[in-house]
Amino acid sequence: MLNRKIYDRIIREFKGKAGGPESESILVDNKEESRDGTIEVYAMGKDAAKIAERCWPAITKVKFEREACFLTIKRSAFRGIPAAFKIVKEG
């Protein structure tokens, strides 16, 4: 597991912050990372803190970049992209 100071920094810098109009979060789930057993998330604002709070033990690498951070996360903590969407019925 990564140093707890990194977790504390993520929480301090991102928790409760909505970010500006250009704020975004990007999930990268590609075959190369799949073979490595990881996924990557680029997150700005509160998404970075929420992800860290939910699966900190599964985060293997963090890179800070100005107003965002890149999180490399073990695939075992990831439900998959389809789980991000609600089932919507016609009508």
Per residue in 49-69, pLDDT (tens digit) is 999 999 999 999 999 998 899
Q: What is the pLDDT of residue 33?
A: 81
87 in a structural domain: no
Q: What is the pLDDT of residue 38?
A: 96
88 in a structural domain: no
Average pLDDT, the chain: 93
Complete edge-to-edge strand list for the sheet that includes strand 59-65: 25-28, 38-44, 68-74, 59-65
90 in a structural domain: no
60 in a structural domain: yes
pTM of the model: 0.89
Number of domains in the chain: 1
- Provide the residue range defining the domain that includes 25: 4-78
